[in-house]
Amino acid sequence: MDCKNINFSQTKSEKRVNKANKLLSKNVVKWIIGFALFLLGARRKDVSELLGTPYDTFNSFIKRIWKARIRAFEDRRVSATPGSMPKKSVVMPGAELLGDEVIVRLPHEKSIDIRISYANKVVLKAVLLTLMQNQILNSQTVAVILGYTQSHTLYLNRQVEAGSTEILFDRRRGQKQDYVFKPEVKAELIQQYSANAIAGKSTASEVLAIDLMERCDLDLSDRSIRYHIQKLGLKNIAVTLPEIIERLKKNSGK
């Protein structure tokens, strides 16, 4: 390539170099110009003198190009030249049950997974509730993985925050109470429902689930409680029971 017949404008050169310096940095522009002169046949010593760079430095730069290619032009005094590196995306936190393991993803530039055996419920509860307290996981995600209602998960979280770590241990024996409503379980449900109704407290299944856990250590799902409330015909006594109790009190005073 013969550049002898090309007219160079000093004014345009200054404008273009200044613009390139702002966009790419002075160091990068200097290496681009130096490499272009080298490709056009200029001696390395002459180019290094023109750039104001030691000969050994420029020579090392040329050698680096053959190895690192375009990356050799990057200004190593900064993290990366604009547009040279894609922005790193942060992995979003989450958790899911896969087989017999729970995979917890932590927010990080790299994929960091924590694997916990689902059978190890104490460790699983401790980790998930800790992440929930630090707002890394939400209560709904934790509830789904643990197989609890969201209201019960919030109850567990409050207990752990208060220092009641014994709540992490499953004190139930045998089959989960969720699946079998034995007569004694039904009796406790009727009793709790009646007590809430008389006291004017909510008889919603979510509230009853928390009350039964606190009072009887029964882990019952909202759905199961709603089903048995309907089956036992308890739905309407929330209104009639307080009236009956009040009438009995008046009659007993006569």
Strands 94-98 and 112-117 come out as unpaired
Among 97-111, 124-138, 168-182, name the most confident range. 124-138
**CB-CB contact of 198 with 245 (8 Å):** yes
Spatial separation of the C-alpha atoms in residues 190 and 187, rounded to whole Å: 5
Band (227; pLDDT cuts 50, 70, 90) = confident
Output 79 or 251, whichever has higher pLDDT: 251
For residue 170, the model assigns a pLDDT of: 61
Owner of token pair 């009350």: 211
Structure tokens at 197: 């109704």
Question: How many helices and strands, by DSSP H and E, does the chain display?
Answer: 11, 3
Band (180; pLDDT cuts 50, 70, 90) = low
Residue 122 confidence (pLDDT) above 60: yes
For residue 171, the model assigns a pLDDT of: 55
For residue 160, the model assigns a pLDDT of: 85
Spatial separation of the C-alpha atoms in residues 249 and 203, rounded to whole Å: 23
Percent of residues, the chain, with pLDDT higher than 90: 2
Band (109; pLDDT cuts 50, 70, 90) = low
- CA torsion sign, 144 to 146 to 147 to 152? negative
Output 112 or 244, whichever has higher pLDDT: 244
Residue 142 confidence (pLDDT) above 50: yes
Length of the chain: 254
**CB-CB contact of 152 with 219 (8 Å):** yes
For residue 248, the model assigns a pLDDT of: 83
The pLDDT tens digits of the residues spanning 21-80 come to 788 788 888 888 888 888 888 888 888 888 888 888 888 888 888 877 777 776 555 444
Residue 225 confidence (pLDDT) above 80: yes
For residue 176, the model assigns a pLDDT of: 44
Residue 235: CB partners within 8 Å, gap ≥ 6? 229
Long-range contacts of 186-190, Cβ-Cβ distance < 8 Å, separation of 24 or more: 186/228, 186/232, 188/212, 188/215, 188/216, 188/218, 189/220, 189/225, 189/228, 189/229, 189/232, 189/234, 190/232, 190/234
User: Mean pLDDT of all residues in the chain?
Assistant: 78
Nearest to 132 by CA among 109, 113, 155, 115: 155
For residue 254, the model assigns a pLDDT of: 56
Cα-Cα end-to-end distance for the chain = 120
